[in-house]
């Protein structure tokens, strides 16, 4: 039994179902209403400990997404990325940087005004609405089933299945009383895309930052202005992209489309520790 139908729950359920286990998914909300659907979503370095494990996970997920980018209909592609910002220790990059494909420093002339450091790379970019649809189809083909059903305790799930995997995202805060999970709010604005291909990511220790994700012509340009830990907030002028941050003149012509901006909390685990734990048989832990 997998509890949760965001990207973690669907991926877990697919791995189990394709390995031959009968799998059910219980979720309070369907994939289209999860945090997962509004993610940018860029594969990127993870800095959680233990680094020996998280580096291996990073490398594996990079291989998986590179392979998915070769399969039609997954919503995954390899995109040019420009990451700029106040990067501490730019001369001494962490070991995670070695895994980022094609990572190279920008020449000063390649940087937008106001930024002193930047890197270019080629990273997997995932159009989440399409990717979640792909995962749903793949789960269904492997025999997995989803039921919309909120659970009040993991014991409820353990009564019907010998193994329960908790993939409830931020819901785990209430479900297992884990106060260390902190919401981190992001503003998500879908804009028309006049042909921008590059992903723009601001890397900073500041409380707010901006990203542009050029999902696909159909998916538009996904703009995340003012993402940060403080709580929901709206930047004025969200009808137009903040072209000052985007080093491409065409950004000024982007216009908001679709429904109103959505504020979505994303789980924010403590930076120091990975959250996956496998309890011994017969125990119920999350």
Ligand X SMILES: Cc1cc2nc3c(=O)[nH]c(=O)nc-3n(C[C@H](O)[C@H](O)[C@H](O)COP(=O)(O)OP(=O)(O)OC[C@H]3O[C@@H](n4cnc5c(N)ncnc54)[C@H](O)[C@@H]3O)c2cc1C
Binding site for ligand X (CB under 6 A): 3-9, 26-29, 34-36, 38-42, 150-151, 167-171, 175, 186, 188, 224, 227, 264, 266-267
Q: Shortest distance, CB of residue 50 to ligand X, whole angstroms?
A: 19
DSSP per residue, 92-111: S--GGGGGSTT-EEPPGGGS
Using the CB atoms, write b or e for 219-238: b if 16+ within 10 Å: bbbbbbbbbeeeeeeeeeeb
The answer to whether 115 and 79 are in contact (CB under 8 A) is no
Report the nearest approach of ligand X to the CB of residue 274 (Å): 13
Q: Hunting for tokens 């709206």 — which residue is that?
A: 234
Nearer to ligand X (CB atom), residue 34 or residue 54: 34
Q: Which is nearer to ligand X, 92 or 225 (by Cβ)?
A: 225
Strands 262-268 and 182-191: antiparallel
How many Cβ atoms are within 10 Å of 138's Cβ, its own excluded?
17
Q: How far is the CB of 248 from ligand X (least distance, A)?
A: 19
In the complex with ligand X, the residue whose CB is nearer, 227 or 254, is 227
Q: What gap in Å lies between CA 274 and CA 220, rounded to an integer?
A: 32
Least separation in angstroms between CB 31 and ligand X: 7
**HSE value, Cβ hemisphere, 13 Å, CA-based, for 215:** 25
CA-closest candidate to residue 1, choices 135, 162, 142, 140 = 162
Q: How far is the CB of 281 from ligand X (least distance, A)?
A: 23
Count Cα neighbours of 65 within 13 Å in the Cβ-side half-sphere. 25
Instruction: Give yes or no for a cis peptide into 41 (omega within 30° of 0).
Output: yes
Question: Please, what is the minimum distance in Å from the beta carbon of residue 163 to ligand X?
Answer: 16
The least distance separating ligand X from the CB of residue 128, rounded to whole angstroms, comes to: 8
């Amino acid at each position: 039994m997998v509890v949760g139908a965001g990207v973690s729950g669907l991926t877990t359920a697919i791995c189990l179902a394709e390995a031959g286990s009968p799998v059910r998914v219980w979720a309070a909300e369907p994939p289209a209403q999860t945090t997962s659907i509004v993610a940018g979503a860029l594969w990127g370095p993870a800095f959680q400990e233990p680094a020996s494990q998280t580096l291996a996970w990073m490398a594996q997920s990079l291989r998986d997404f590179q392979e998915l980018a070769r399969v039609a209909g997954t919503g995954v592609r390899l995109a040019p990325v420009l990451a700029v910002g106040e990067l501490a220790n730019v001369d001494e990059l962490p070991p995670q940087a070695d895994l980022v494909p094609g990572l190279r420093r920008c020449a000063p002339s390649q940087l937008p005004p106001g930024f002193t450091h930047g890197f270019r790379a080629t990273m997997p970019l995932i159009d989440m609405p399409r990717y979640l649809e792909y995962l749903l189809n793949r789960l269904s083909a492997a025999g997995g089933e989803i039921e919309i059903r909120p659970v009040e305790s993991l014991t409820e799930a353990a009564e019907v299945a010998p193994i329960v995997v908790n993939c409830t995202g931020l819901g785990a805060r209430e479900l297992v009383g884990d106060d260390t999970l902190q919401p981190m709010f992001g503003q998500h604005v879908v804009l028309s895309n006049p042909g921008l291909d590059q992903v723009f990511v601001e890397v900073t220790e500041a409380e707010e930052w901006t990203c542009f994700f050029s999902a696909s012509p159909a998916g538009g340009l996904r703009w995340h202005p003012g993402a940060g830990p403080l709580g929901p907030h709206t930047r004025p002028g969200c009808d137009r992209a903040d072209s000052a941050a985007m080093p491409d003149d065409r950004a000024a012509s982007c216009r908001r489309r679709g429904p109103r901006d959505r504020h979505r909390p994303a789980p924010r685990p403590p930076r120091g520790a990975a959250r996956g734990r496998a309890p011994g048989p017969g125990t119920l832990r999350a």
